[in-house]
A and B are shown apart, each in its own frame.
Chain A
Amino acid sequence: DIQMTQSPSSLSASVGDRVTITCRASQGINNYLAWFQQRPGKAPKSLIYAASTLQSGVPSKFSGSGSGTDFTLTINSLQPEDFATYYCQHYNSYPLTFGGGTKVEIK
Chain B
Amino acid sequence: EVLLVESGGGLVQPGGSLRLSCAASGFTFNTHYLSWVRQAPGKGLEWVASINQDGSEEHYVDSLKGRFTISRDNAEESLYLQIHSLRVDDTAVYYCAVDVSGSHWGQGTLVTVSS
Residue of B nearest to A91 (CB): B100
Chain A: residues with CB nearer than 8 A to chain B?
Answer: 1, 32, 34, 36, 38, 42-46, 49-50, 55, 87, 89, 91, 94-101
Which of B47, B50, B104, B106 contacts A98, CB < 8 Å? B47
Q: A44-B95, A87-B45, A89-B47 are in contact. Are A96 and B100 (CB under 8 A)?
A: yes
Q: A95-B62, A98-B45 are in contact. Are A45 and B103 (CB under 8 A)?
A: no
Q: Tell me which residues across on chain A come within 8 A of B35, comparing CB atoms.
A: 96
- Looking at the assembled complex, report how far the CB atom of A99 sits from the nearest CB atom of chain B, in whole angstroms: 8
**What's the Cα separation between A66 and B26 when bound, in Å?**
32
Question: A34 touching B45 by the CB < 8 A rule?
Answer: no
**Is residue B114 contacting chain A, with contact meaning CB distance below 8 A?**
no
Q: A95-B59, A95-B62 are in contact. Are A36 and B102 (CB under 8 A)?
A: yes
Question: B44 touching A34 by the CB < 8 A rule?
Answer: no
Q: Tell me which residues across on chain A come within 8 A of B103, comparing CB atoms.
A: 46, 49, 55
Question: B44 touching A98 by the CB < 8 A rule?
Answer: yes
Question: A100 touching B44 by the CB < 8 A rule?
Answer: yes
Q: A87-B44, A89-B47, A98-B46 are in contact. Are A43 and B100 (CB under 8 A)?
A: no
**What's the Cα separation between A38 and B107 when bound, in Å?**
11
Q: Tell me which residues across on chain A come within 8 A of B106, comparing CB atoms.
A: 43
Given A44-B37, A98-B46, 10 new contacts (CB under 8 A): A34-B101, A36-B45, A43-B107, A45-B105, A95-B47, A95-B59, A96-B50, A97-B47, A98-B44, A99-B44
Q: Which of B58-83 contact A (CB under 8 A)?
A: 59-62
Residue of A nearest to B6 (CB): A43
**What's the Cα separation between A100 and B44 when bound, in Å?**
6
